[in-house]
Amino acid sequence: MRKKVVAGNWKCNTTLQEGVELAKAVDKIVAEKGASDVVVVMGTPFTHLTKVVESVNTKRVGVSSQNCAAEAKGAFTGEVSAAMVKSTGAEYVILGHSERREYYGETSETLNKKVALTLENGLTPIYCCGEPLEIREAGTQKEYVINQLKETIFSLSADDFKKIIIAYEPIWAIGTGKTATTEQAQEMHKDIRDAIAAQFDAAVADEISILYGGSCNPKNANELFANPDVDGGLIGGASLKAEDFIEIINAY
């Protein structure tokens, strides 16, 4: 059975000290009132990974980076490799977030390298896809998103593909307070699952967790997660407050 996953994406927020406090608070509340069948992940800045891993029970709360380098190692000043992320004890890497695609020019080609390195290092990619507003308004969002997958993770072997978590994040809903309706989310998640079944097979499609991301909060999580093809969420702003994050985790 596929897993329910709620992953936080802290983005470029929190100092190390604030991040450790947040992580400890999340870990404590998950221990006290978290749903045991939900996989909880916190996507922290690179600088926080080691300390956060040391500060929480990683069996209860997994730790993720928000990116990794497209090269294994070498003369790439400022980059952090997948092997480095792995060496901190983190287990996940968020890849292909729309902010990275938009502000840092990440292409499908770059993402293919990052996905490969992440998998080689035994890390789980949380692979983001999603359409901008003009594509949604033109009604071509399905083609757009499936194409993002075709250009990247659909070329993996079925065994590798099964290690991936997908996050569908309509760009117009990220950080805008404008959430996709439950129908819009379910429709796209089903389209993605159908495309996986066509590319691989129905059993693979049934195993993949597809998360929704985009202004998900304690008020709307319940309705979004009630959809049969929505297997959890990738949470930005609301993951920065432990109480809000736990409410989303417990929205199932």
Question: Which positions are annotated as active-site residues?
Answer: 97, 169
Separation of alpha carbons 170 and 212, rounded Å:
9
Q: Show the site string, 73-112: x = touches ligand PEP by CB under 6 A, - = not.
A: ----------------------------------------
Least gap, CB of 125 to ligand PEP (angstroms): 14
Query: Which of helix, strand or coil describes residue 127?
Result: strand
Separation of alpha carbons 63 and 53, rounded Å:
7
Separation of alpha carbons 75 and 146, rounded Å:
34
Would you say 141 and 101 are in contact if contact means Cβ atoms under 8 Å apart? no
Q: Which two tokens stand for residue 139?
A: 């009604």
Least gap, CB of 127 to ligand PEP (angstroms): 12
Least gap, CB of 215 to ligand PEP (angstroms): 4
Closest CA to 175 of 115, 229, 102: 102
Q: Does 174 bind ligand PEP (CB under 6 A)?
A: yes
Separation of alpha carbons 198 and 192, rounded Å:
10
Among 4, 5, 9, 200, contact with ligand PEP (rule: CB under 6 A)? 9
Q: Show the site string, 216-235: x = touches ligand PEP by CB under 6 A, - = not.
A: x-----------------xx
Among 34, 130, 213, 232, contact with ligand PEP (rule: CB under 6 A)? 213
Least gap, CB of 10 to ligand PEP (angstroms): 9
Among 31, 47, 87, 175, contact with ligand PEP (rule: CB under 6 A)? 175
Q: Which is nearer to ligand PEP, 152 or 220 (CB)?
A: 220
Which ranges of the chain would DSSP assign to H, the alpha helix? 16-33, 49-55, 82-87, 98-103, 108-120, 133-138, 141-150, 158-161, 182-199, 202-207, 221-225, 242-249
**Taking contact as CB under 6 A, which single stretch among the options 19-27, 63-71, 154-162, 212-220 is the one that binds ligand PEP?**
212-220
Binding residues (CB under 6 A) for ligand PEP: these are 9, 169, 174-175, 213-216, 234-238
